[in-house]
Amino acid sequence: MGGIFGVVSKKDCALDLFFGTDYHSHLGTRRAGMAMYGDRGFDRAIHNIQNSPFRTKFERDISEFNGRVGIGCISDYEPQPLLIRSHLGSFAITTVSKINNIDELVKEIYNAGHTQFLEMSGSNINPTELVASLINQKDSISEGIEYALDKIDGSLTLLVMTEKGIYAGRDLYGRTPLMIGRKDDEAYCLAFESFSYINLGYKDEKELGPGEIVYVTADGYETLRPAQETMKICTFLWIYYGYPTSTYEGVNVEDMRYRCGKALAERDSVKPDIVAGVPDSGTAHAIGYANESGIPFARPFIKYTPTWPRSFMPTDQSQRNLIARMKLIPVDKLIRNKSLLLIDDSIVRGTQLRETTEFLYRSGAGEVHIRPACPPLLHGCKFLNFSRSNSEYDLITRRVIREREGEDVSDEVLKDYADPDSTNYKEMIEDIRKQLNFTSLAFNRLDDMVSSVGIPKEKLCTYCWDKQGDCRDCSSCKGCS
């Protein structure tokens, strides 16, 4: 994924930029960067944050940064922000994006006379540089952002900083959020995460709508392109990766997770001794379940956090699994001979949850009932840069369906597997349960998850569960009809 933050102020705002960007650290583990316009003109720093967190890496930079306008990012992929000089002048740019038609766009840009792109390691073009090139195809930054938002297949939310202010654009279908915060008459900020500016003294000013473009200075903001009607905000923001204190489209993440847990409890009949959540996002879903069922919430295992910062994330999967295991410490009294009900946000590969369950059995648990807070994932995400799955067969559901149906499975058959009342669905769940060695397994239903968000389904992307939300392929989705 990734997160972005920007600030424009009547006073020096380097510290606001530093802390505001740092509060997006849960959204990425690879790169981070900040750019400001100050005494020395444009200043920029980018660091690798794989083995130490944002604040440690940027401590030294922040004492050298100064200025009244700045942007920052946490990025799971490309190094950014980038500093660009073009016929539009000098600007800094940062994005949260996934660009599926990158080759096609690069070809178009070559045809328009642009001769080169820098290559990153691995021979890939930096997507943020491509977005800058798209912007440079037009006669103003505003027109360029509009062009880029409209051209990209995937998603794009971005900030473009000039020496005087920040242009901001939210993804055409609003898959990722963007908020404006205001600090009295002194400053405005722009943030992916709405909680990121609260402790800095900003209050919610406005949430950008899908495809909306604004220009923000220390004196105020103007809308350069109004929001479009169609929205497909990512439902996974609430289920998994959004921070609990954030609010998107008026719906707080923690609160939504309580409602998901409540919905799971309302349909359940097991009577475990305790309800627990897989930290971090599973915890709030579990609190909702416990409150509704009256079964006590407890923490049968606890993460050892002091020396395991979240950002320590090796790329090798077996090392990641080892670290996941080392972080969890069992509480014998809460596990031995007990029946546990465990809630996780979702099941992707199933590897981690199987290991956690085995760890609980080894620690003496009698029963381990698993309740994922969202329905079975049947389709990979093609709109966001999720590092969680690379191919559809990373998903345990698709592997089980392949075992049952063979390689070529039609959309019609997959639709049947997504229907919680179908026989195929029930048998798939039983196959998963056996493979992962759970005592019982029941997923949240799509209709319950959507009601837990509380905004109309046609405004949500639910593609990874039911293939609805791909507005560029309207005929295959028909999610709004």
Residues that bind ligand SF4 (CB under 6 A): 175, 234-236, 381, 383-384, 461-464, 469
CB of residue 140 to ligand SF4, shortest distance in Å: 30
Name the residue nearer to ligand SF4 (CB basis): 288 or 479: 479
**N-term to C-term CA, the chain:** 30
CB of residue 27 to ligand SF4, shortest distance in Å: 13
CB of residue 168 to ligand SF4, shortest distance in Å: 20
Name the residue nearer to ligand SF4 (CB basis): 428 or 453: 453
CB of residue 442 to ligand SF4, shortest distance in Å: 21
CB of residue 391 to ligand SF4, shortest distance in Å: 15
Name the residue nearer to ligand SF4 (CB basis): 20 or 375: 375
Name the residue nearer to ligand SF4 (CB basis): 96 or 384: 384
Name the residue nearer to ligand SF4 (CB basis): 33 or 211: 211
CB of residue 242 to ligand SF4, shortest distance in Å: 11
Name the residue nearer to ligand SF4 (CB basis): 272 or 469: 469
